[in-house]
Amino acid sequence: MNFESRVLPELKSALAQFPGFQLEANLEGSRSMLSGPPIEASEHVSTTSRMIRGGAGEMLVKIYEPANRTDAKLPAMLWTHGGGYVLGHPDMDDVLCERFVQAAHCVVVSVDYRRAPEHPYPAAIEDCYAGLVWMTDEAESLGIDVDRVAIAGASGGGGLTAALALMARDKGGPALIFQMPLYPMIDNRNTTASSYEITADNATWNRTNNVEAWQMYLGAGVEDHELSPYAVPSKADSLAGLPPTYTCVGQLDLFRDETIEYVTRLAQAGVDVEFQLYPGCFHCFEVFVPEAEVSQRASQNYVDAMARALNP
């Protein structure tokens, strides 16, 4: 059975309309595919934008918080958008960040990290770490409870989340109580069965996309043995000491096998981990077809997981 024949019927319409990303041939065109029309902001969430010090110079962050909040300190979550390290912008996740705020009654800080190939590794992870440090350093002005801080992201943002958890562990802070790297991009080797399985041109992320994006992110001439786990989280020698984790992936996602391996290693390292595998679902299915029943179930599952973690 080929890729398309295995996709759930309720998700197939998106594939028929999706032209596929062309990263090397048309990077700017691929980037524009992720910038949809402006959304109507929720009246229950207040959103502000600020410039802070990133890994090298100024960086935009978007801050989402309950519109009717009191003086009580709230839990906080750092969000890293997806896009294979080369695409995406915080604006595309406004609706999701608002959902997190309302479900978990928390503050969400979304970072506009630098993207490859203009800014290869370590630019993105340095920006994410700078955003996490800023968020916790500004806990008083942001009204944040530093004892309830989590990190989350999807796809390339999920890879940055996994890398950020390792970095925070190794640097001795900021302290995290939870991480949520959703269908994360964490292995540059492209040797898993699922990385060979997902090759269709209209797949929302295929083998060609993944090979090109990793090359853009890591730069030319880098030997595999030289790569840091902060660049490629699957290379981490140990996952012990990481925070409790939630993740999910579609069975027809190129990242299926590296996600399953990551979940297995977390469990073996004594890290509490919750994992969902969705049959018939491709990469970012809940983003591409948000009205589908499986999409609503999947996104509600991870929003609820974050709400539980931040409000123990």
Catalytic residue annotation: 155, 253, 283
Residue type, 19: P
CA–CA separation, 125 vs 65, rounded Å? Answer: 24
In the 8-state DSSP scheme, what is residue 264? H
The region, left, alpha or beta by phi > 0 then psi within -120 to 50, assigned to residue 33 is: alpha
**Could you give the residue ranges of the DSSP H alpha helices within the chain?**
3-6, 12-17, 27-32, 94-104, 123-137, 139-142, 156-171, 193-197, 207-218, 256-268, 285-288, 293-310
Q: ∠ at Cα 159 (62, 298), nearest 5°?
A: 80
Q: ∠ at Cα 51 (45, 53), nearest 5°?
A: 130
